[in-house]
Amino acid sequence: MEPQAIIAKRIALELRDGMLVNLGIGIPTQVANYVPAGLRVYFQSENGLIGTGAVPEEGMHHRLLTDAGGRPVTALPGACTFDSAMSFGLIRGGHLDMTVLGGLQVDQTGHLANWMIPGKMVPGMGGAMDLASGAKRVVIAMQHSAKGKSKVVKACNLPLTSARPIDLLVTELAVIAFPYGKATLMETAPGVTVQQVIAATEAELVVPQQVPQMAL
C-alpha cells in the first residue's frame, strides 16, 4: 500500500458517526476515500462547503467544485455552500469535531509547523491556524521523513501553526499520541517494527510495553 494511502486509511478509522470534519489539503483529502461503510460523516472545507465526498475520478470533476486548495472534490446529496464568514465562524466557534491537517514538522510535545519554510514557496497558512486552534480534535497526516530527515522532531525549527498541541499524528510508519505532552508510540504500520520507528524518529518517544499494529 502506498504511504499516503496507509495514512489516510488509518485516519479514517478515527471517524465517528455524525462528525463534522475538516480535511486540509494534500494527504488529508484522501481520508474521504476511506470512510467506513455506514458512517455518516460531514466533511467541511474552509472555502465554504459542507458535504464533500471522495476525490472525483479523472475527467469527472466540476471546475467550480473544489476544496480550499483549489483541488477538485465531489459533493454528496444534501451538501450546502456558504460564504467564508460562515465557514470560519464554524471553525472559530468550536463546532468542528475534528480537523485533519498536513504537516511539515511535529515536535515531541505535539506542536505543529505546517505553513512556512523560509525562502521557499509553500501554500501558506490558509485556515490552518484557525483549525489547529478551534477544532475539538486535531489529527495530523504527514509522511515520517523527507529527504532522509525525520519530520517528527525534538523541537520544531519552522514557525509554529498554533500554541495548542495536536492530539494525534499518523504517518506511514506509526500512530503517535501526546498524552501529558509526551510523544507516545501507539501503533506501528503493518510490517514496521518498533525499532524501525525509533530509528526513523528524531523526537524522543515513549514506548509502551505492547505496541499493536494498525488495523487496516
What would the grid cell of residue 115 be? Answer: 505553513
Contact 152, 202 (CB under 8 A): yes
Tell me, yes or no, whether 98 lies in a domain.
Answer: yes
pLDDT at position 66: 85
Residue 110 has pLDDT above 90, yes or no: yes
- Active site residue ranges: 46
Tell me, yes or no, whether 208 lies in a domain.
Answer: no
How many CB atoms are located within 10 Å of the residue 60 CB? 9
The parent domain of residue 105 ranges over: 3-199
Residue in this structure with the C-alpha cell 466540476, named with its chain if needed: 62
- Give the CATH number for residue 49: 3.40.1080.10
| Distance (Å, whole) CA 52 – CA 62 | 13
Tell me, yes or no, whether 60 lies in a domain.
Answer: yes
Residue 4 has pLDDT above 90, yes or no: yes
Q: Whole-model pTM? A: 0.93
108 class by beta-carbon count within 10 Å (0-12 exposed, 13-18 middle, 19+ buried): buried
What would the grid cell of residue 150 be? Answer: 525525520
User: Between vectors from CA 9 to CA 43 and to CA 188, what angle results, nearest 5°?
Assistant: 135
In angstroms, what CA-CA distances link 71 with 55, 62, 82, 173?
9, 10, 18, 27
pLDDT at position 68: 79
pLDDT at position 122: 64
Tell me, yes or no, whether 205 lies in a domain.
Answer: no
More confident residue, 176 or 61: 176
In angstroms, what CA-CA distances link 148 with 19, 121, 160?
36, 21, 22
Tell me, yes or no, whether 209 lies in a domain.
Answer: no
pLDDT at position 117: 74
Q: What is the pLDDT of residues 114-170, one digit of tens each?
A: 987 776 666 666 788 999 999 999 999 999 999 999 999 999 999 999 999 999 999
| Distance (Å, whole) CA 27 – CA 47 | 18
Residue 107 has pLDDT above 80, yes or no: yes
| Distance (Å, whole) CA 3 – CA 36 | 19
Tell me, yes or no, whether 212 lies in a domain.
Answer: no
In angstroms, what CA-CA distances link 147 with 17, 144, 200?
38, 10, 12
Q: What is the pLDDT of residues 18-60, one digit of tens each?
A: 999 999 888 998 999 999 999 999 999 888 999 988 888 888 8
Number of domains composing the chain: 1
In angstroms, what CA-CA distances link 183 with 36, 76, 174, 175, 206?
27, 37, 11, 10, 6
Tell me, yes or no, whether 131 lies in a domain.
Answer: yes
79 class by beta-carbon count within 10 Å (0-12 exposed, 13-18 middle, 19+ buried): middle
Instruction: List the single range of 1-15, 61-75, 196-210 with lowest mean pLDDT.
Output: 61-75
Three-state DSSP class for 93?
A: coil
Tell me, yes or no, whether 82 lies in a domain.
Answer: yes
| Distance (Å, whole) CA 103 – CA 215 | 23
pLDDT at position 121: 61
The backbone torsions φ and ψ at residue 4, rounded to the nearest 5 degrees and listed phi first, read -65, -35
